[in-house]
Structure 1
Amino acid sequence: MIVQDRLAIVDRLLAQPFPGEGTRDGSQSSGPGFHVYVLQASQEFWDDRSEEVVEPAQAEIDAAFQDLAAGLTARWGEPQVVDLEPYLWSDDEVPEPMARLCMLTLRLSVWRPPGTDRWVGLAVGQADAEFAIELLLATGDAEFP
């Protein structure tokens, strides 16, 4: 998928209404006030977690992150980098999509597109060493971050 295709997904999620309750459809999960979309995923690493397998997969996802981040930065300026670790250890109920995102990554690059009350977040995440490495796109309402 090329950067222009990914930017089109960003635009679609910015315009798409939030559902009243949680839903999941393929690569997208949504709920009140958020959408999370898996833009790209590596293979899973159940059978082989060697450096020769994991490092190229990580490099491919990191490059896709950098390319899309550059496109978003060209549109809206430098992102705010948000530390998600406090959500991971919070004693309070963590709202979505932070509850999901903090289980996959500890950093989220966030842009606030002008003319909208939503934010756009981009991250690379992985649930555990055996799972796929994912390029994650999130949009949410203005309450975060």
Structure 2
Amino acid sequence: MTIAQHLATIDRLCSEDFPPEPGRSDAGTGGPGYHIAELVTSEDFWEADGAVREETEEQFEADRDGLSELLTRRWGRPDVMSLSTIFDRTTDGEEIPEPWGLLSSHVPDVHLWKPEGQDRWVALGISQWDSELPFQLLAVVTEVDPP
């Protein structure tokens, strides 16, 4: 997918209705109040050495930062929000609304915008569930305020 396609996906999700139930969508996953688009997914790292993993992570960060720069031109500078404290709160048993609870388990931080005139948040983050599993560049569109 190209950057133009990523932007088109984000624009579409900013105007689409949210699904009534959690589940898969054409872009990734969604549920009441949120869409999570899987923009890019790497290969897994079961057989890869550390240098390949590091290079892939750097490329995903560059892709996120490039897309973030384009969104910054539209909506201004993003907040960079760590999700680690949200993850800590979930492990302490606190109920965190989705998509924030789920994201905090595999996305360390997000670039976050609240576009003027919209009731939705837009976030970009890099997911990796475990060191052997693929990286994913995620775009999140949600009406749920960050906790």
Normalising to structure 1: TM-score of the pair? Answer: 0.92
* Structure 2 match to 1:47: 47
Give the letter for the 1:96 counterpart: E
Please list, as runs of the form range in 1=range in 2, the aligned pairs for 1:7-86 lying within 5 A after superposition: 7-25=7-25, 27-48=27-48, 50-86=49-85
Distance in 2, matches of 1:114 and 1:25, equals 26
Q: SS of the counterpart of 2:96?
A: coil
Shift, 1:142, TM fit: 4.9
Shift, 1:27, TM fit: 4.4
Distance in 1, matches of 2:47 and 2:129, equals 16
Please list, as runs of the form range in 1=range in 2, the aligned pairs for 1:100-139 lying within 5 A after superposition: 100-139=102-141
Deviations 1:68-120 (A, max 9, x none): 00010010000011121122121211211112211112211101112210000
Distance in 1, matches of 2:32 and 2:95, equals 15
Unpaired segments of 5 or more residues in structure 2?
Answer: none
* Structure 1 match to 2:96: 94
> Aligned-pair RMSD on alpha carbons?
1.4
Normalising to structure 2: TM-score of the pair? Answer: 0.91
Superposed structure 1 runs of 4+ greater than 4 Å apart: none
Percent identity reads 34
2:100–2:146 Cα contact (<8 Å) kept: no
Distance in 2, matches of 1:65 and 1:78, equals 14
Unpaired segments of 5 or more residues in structure 1?
Answer: none
Distance in 2, matches of 1:87 and 1:72, equals 25
Figure out how many residues of one structure are paired with residues of the other and give that number.
Answer: 144
Distance in 2, matches of 1:134 and 1:58, equals 10
Q: SS of the counterpart of 1:17?
A: coil
